[in-house]
Amino acid sequence: QRLRTAMERQGALLALLLAAFAVSAFAARTNGGPSTFPYCNCWDNITGSGIVVDSFAISGQTLNFTIRSTNPRPLHPTCSQDLHKIEINTFDYCRWSKVSATLNGKPLKTPIFDSQGKSVWVPGVQIFKLYDLALSWADISAVPASFSITVGTAPGQRRCTSFSQLLNTTALAPIDMAFFSSDVKCCPHPPVTFYPPPPPPPPPPVPPPPPPP
């Protein structure tokens, strides 16, 4: 009886773990929902901080967005008040994609995907990083920071050639993006909502043929 009870408890625990694992995997694969992104122990609450992502748009192979802040010191007081890197929650099958980026029109260091995929924690996830940004939130509060990220079109193994593959751009679905301070103590995680452009208008109707002479 004791052996049966112990086995039943182990079975129940395993079922709970599998259920939690499934929820995390689904959240990661959709870049939203109850995801635990960013995957680290840092301050991610930005309530009342004034950090906003504006002008989030995709044009062809390029993703554009602007970061602004109404507060020169928006982060938790124990954190460096700067923006060192941006992490974006993407998909593991994209980890060898060719990507470039600019900040206010100037090239950044080549963005990187995590050298060690996050599949250990949440299956299917890969973290994409823009780093060495060297921005202070005081600067950003004075002049918003404009970013452009371009994905290459050359196909290859584990390469994504469009943002529809790299990101979840379903209408109204959140895209996971976190802003890290240089001491990695703060990682504000503002909501980002992508609205796809409207479809092009239909072509004008073909005029009727002229009447016979």
| Digit-coded pLDDT (tens) for 170-205 | 555 567 788 999 999 998 887 666 555 556 677 788
- pLDDT the model gives residue 29: 35
Q: Cα–Cα distance between 210 and 22 in angstroms, integer?
A: 64
Encoding tokens for residue 204?
A: 């004008």
pLDDT over 80 at 111, yes or no:
yes
Encoding tokens for residue 152?
A: 């290459």
Give the percent of the chain with pLDDT over 70.
69
Read off the pTM: 0.72
- pLDDT the model gives residue 14: 44
Q: DSSP letter at 164? A: H
Nearest to 90 by CA among 13, 24, 15, 37: 37
